Amino acid sequence: MNRKAIVLVSGGLDSAATLAIALEQNFDCDALSFDYGQRHIAEINAAKRIVESFKIKNHKIFNIDLTQIGESALTDTTIDVPETPAEGIPVTYVPARNTIFLSLALAYAETQHTFDIFIGVNAVDYSGYPDCRPEYIESFARTAKLATRAGVEGANFTIHTPLIKLSKSEIIKKGQQLGVNYSLTVSCYQADEKGHACGVCDSCRIRIRGFNDAGISDPTTYQTS
């Protein structure tokens, strides 16, 4: 029997590639997504399509309303998504988002007797979010062992970050080799209901450059301006 894993699937291309990699590594994967009050339902719909495309049986969608915290362009519609590059950590940063998501993934994993969690964070072509860096992930994993009954009883939770040191074009190439259908993915921070992308936000810019560098055609549909 293959070892089980929980894979966080957001609807973007990174997590789709991460799911493909976890399957390639012969993990028996459950998918976990968060409906957290993000700007657009397109993200959750994309996550569902990606999970279905890989024939994953269990897809848990956890509802947690982070608009109760706000202070991010992704969870507060009164803050505009930036459409030009800026210095430092952008306003699309959601306070402690990966810690919240990994905590919930940890809780869910513990109930499933699963000790491998995959998350598609990347610290090369990214928006500069602190909770995408290797030192953060390592620290969370240490905390996870101390936090849980399973950890006290001897389990070691492994937080797998197969993309963390890859460039966006390397991720795109790897995902393509493993059968990711990029037309199902949505990266845009302000996609419309159909999943059509704005083409100008940070996430769109990183995606467009990644496909260009990879020499692969991007199937994304962009909003007509």
Beta strands in the chain (DSSP E): 4-8, 28-35, 59-63, 116-118, 158-160
Sheet containing 28-35: give its strands across: 59-63, 28-35, 4-8, 116-118, 158-160
Least Å from the CB of residue 128 to a second copy: 9
Q: Residues 214, 218, 223, 225: is their CA dihedral positive or negative? A: positive
Residue of 25, 45, 53, 99 interacting with a second copy (CB under 8 A): 99
Residue of 25, 28, 83, 104 interacting with a second copy (CB under 8 A): 104
The whole-angstrom separation of Cα 148 and Cα 59 is 23
Least Å from the CB of residue 126 to a second copy: 14
Least Å from the CB of residue 9 to a second copy: 16
Residue of 2, 77, 80, 95 interacting with a second copy (CB under 8 A): 95
Q: Is 126 or 222 the residue whose CB approaches a second copy more closely?
A: 126
Helix, strand, coil proportions of the chain in percent (round to 5)?
40, 10, 50
Burial environment of residue 178 by CB neighbours within 10 A (0 to 12, 13 to 18, 19 or more): middle
Contact map string, positions 134 to 163, toward a second copy, x by CB under 8 A: -xx--xx-xxx-xxxx-xx-----------
Shortest CA distance to 136 belongs to which of 102, 163, 174?
102
Contact map string, positions 47 to 86, toward a second copy, x by CB under 8 A: -------------x-xxxxx-xxxx---------------
- List the interface residues with a second copy, window 22-41 (CB under 8 A): none
Which residues make up the interface to a second copy (CB under 8 A)? 60, 62-66, 68-71, 89, 93-100, 103-104, 106-108, 110-111, 130-131, 133, 135-136, 139-140, 142-144, 146-149, 151-152
